[in-house]
Amino acid sequence: MNAAPSVRAVIARHCRELLADPLLHGDPTLRDIAAQCHQPLRVLLVGNVSTGKSTLLNALIAGPLAATAFEETTSSVTWYHGPEPADPVLPDPGHRSVTTDFPLAGRVMLGDSPGLNTLSDNPRETLRMLGGSDLTGAAAAFVCVLVGGRVDQWAEGLEELAAFSAGPFDLVGNIVAVMAKVDEVDEAVEDIERRVSGDTTATFRFAAVNQLMAAAARTGAVDDRIVATLDRLRTLPVMHGRSAPAWDRLAEEVGTALPPGHLKALEQVVGAPAWLPALVAATAGMTTTGAVAEQFERMSRIRSLEAVLSDLADDSDLFTSTAAVLRLRRLAARLKPRPAALVRARLADLTATMHTSGLHRRAAARLVRHTDVGSGLTEHERAAAQALLRWPDAGADGGGTSDRATAAEVDVGAVLARWTAYEADPFRDSRSREVAALVIETARHRLRTTTRQEES
Ligand SMILES: Nc1nc2c(ncn2[C@@H]2O[C@H](COP(=O)(O)OP(=O)(O)OP(=O)(O)O)[C@@H](O)[C@H]2O)c(=O)[nH]1
Ligand SMILES: [Mg+2]
């Protein structure tokens, strides 16, 4: 399989050539778009003050590098990235960057941002990244950190952000809604997830996370004191009731049986006591900090968020190129007529070439994977369509996840027949029909190519 050059590499080349023109020489937006196209996927964490963005960031980078506190803390955008690129170009001179190794390093750059709902000047930085400025699109994906167990009051904002950044490819998934501080919500995580996915029409991805426990597990905060305290709590009859007692009640029960500070240390890594009974039960018999930290990490569900981010990174070319094209369009709208015409000519060049049709197919593959496009078809039929849509440029980002069927294994004739019947249904919505048309076109193209290869 010959991997096509990534679209973002082509966009970067256009940007570099434009920068060489005296009319656009040194344009900071062009410079940053070119840089963005060579960097891992830029993902910005956004949300209100004290929703736990920096705590979540620390969990994702597995180190206590971002300052956290129960007050307005983060005042500028900081990008956390792996050793490569060592000294990345950043979207704005006011942004900072920190090099650190973490599970998703090399695949994503994570940006921590100031909280939104404050009267201070700090949100201006975040707002510039979200919409209506030269920095819009400088992050290709967003993790929106919400609290309170509800997304309905946020649905509109998420839909707006999704619409604003979807670009020409009807993109899904570049907005990830994270329900944070789930320990403070009086509802099981699974129920929250089920309710949220039923409540909203926007096609954002969703994960519920206890980032406090995740950060504790990964930053060495689960120490011997935590193990000893859990051990002690396990012996208390109040821990085996239906609901968890408040921390001060626990302090009374524990009395002097634990050294001072032990219970407080546990409170700091667990948050509200709601999850304590489950934690105490799950860590029974565990004597090492490593085993207990592993349990913290498992319960925190941080890995399900990482799986979503990893899935985004698989389509880094699609997300980054979409953001870059949108940035170029907005740049053209801002520039004087002559330089604007140069940028527009490059955009026309990009869309006229084969490159963007590959992106359309990738976006369609995401629609089949993450929305109800293709509903009524079997899992196998949907997976076959996804594999086909990713052909021949599947692997351009280093390959998708292994559970996806590879294009070589697909029965192309069967896909063609099944999706032709699917498209013919007069009750299909236009998006489903468009995707079906793309599947059919790709299948026909594949059949033609295979026949030609067999003949030669
Ligand atoms: N109970 C609970 N508290 C949390 C959780 N995550 C973070 N916190 C606490 O919430 C407070 C705010 O956390 P930060 O991570 O600083 O929040 P932020 O969104 O970065 O805040 P700003 O930078 O000011 O916008 C801190 O006291 C954290 O310890 C959680 O999952 N559960
Ligand atoms: Mg913060």
What is the DSSP track for 83-103? Answer: SSSSS---SSTT-EEEE---T
The sign of the CA dihedral 112, 321, 347, 368 is: negative
pLDDT at residue 211, rounded to an integer = 96
Residue 307 CA, ligand 2 centroid: distance in Å: 23
Residue 72 CA, ligand 2 centroid: distance in Å: 7
User: Strand, coil or helix: what is 455?
Assistant: helix
Question: Does the global pTM surpass 0.95?
Answer: no
pLDDT at residue 222, rounded to an integer = 96
**pLDDT tens, per residue, the chain with 456 residues:** 345 568 999 999 999 999 999 999 999 999 999 999 999 999 999 999 999 999 999 999 999 999 898 888 988 999 999 998 788 999 999 999 999 999 999 999 999 999 988 888 888 888 888 887 889 999 999 999 998 877 776 777 777 787 777 776 666 778 898 999 988 888 888 888 777 766 665 567 888 999 999 999 999 999 999 999 999 999 998 888 777 889 999 999 888 889 989 999 999 999 999 889 999 999 999 999 999 999 999 999 999 999 999 999 999 999 999 999 999 999 999 999 999 999 999 999 988 776 678 888 988 999 898 888 998 899 999 999 999 998 765 334 434 444 345 666 789 999 999 999 999 998 898 889 999 999 999 999 888 887 776 676
Alpha carbons 113 and 80: distance in angstroms, whole number? 11
Q: At CA 151, angle to CA 150 and CA 153, rounded to 5?
A: 95
pLDDT at residue 198, rounded to an integer = 66
Ligand 1 site residues, Cβ closer than 6 angstroms: 47, 49-55, 68-70, 72-74, 114-115, 180-181, 183-184, 210-212, 271-272
User: Strand, coil or helix: what is 205?
Assistant: strand
* Cα–Cα nearest to 43, from 174, 179, 139: 139
Exposure of 435 by Cβ count < 10 A (0-12 exposed, 13-18 middle, 19+ buried)? buried
The sign of the CA dihedral 46, 52, 58, 64 is: positive
Closest atom of ligand 1 to CA, residue 73: 24
Residue 54 CA, ligand 1 centroid: distance in Å: 7
The residue ranges of every structural domain in the chain are 7-209+302-317, 220-287, 374-455
Closest atom of ligand 1 to CA, residue 118: 25
Q: From edge to edge, which strands make up the β-sheet containing 78-81?
A: 96-99, 78-81, 108-112, 41-47, 141-146, 175-179, 205-208
**How far is the CA of 78 from the CAs of 109, 111, 121, 318, in angstroms?**
10, 5, 16, 24
Q: Identify any residues that bridge with 142 across adjacent strands, giving them in sequence order.
A: 44, 175
Two structure tokens written together for 210 = 């206890």
Amino acid symbol at 337: P
**How far is the CA of 90 from the CAs of 41, 54, 255, 413, 452, in angstroms?**
13, 19, 52, 47, 47
pLDDT at residue 148, rounded to an integer = 82
pLDDT at residue 6, rounded to an integer = 87
Pairing of β 108-112 and β 41-47: parallel
Amino acid symbol at 49: V
Record: fold of 7-209+302-317: Rossmann fold (3.40.50)
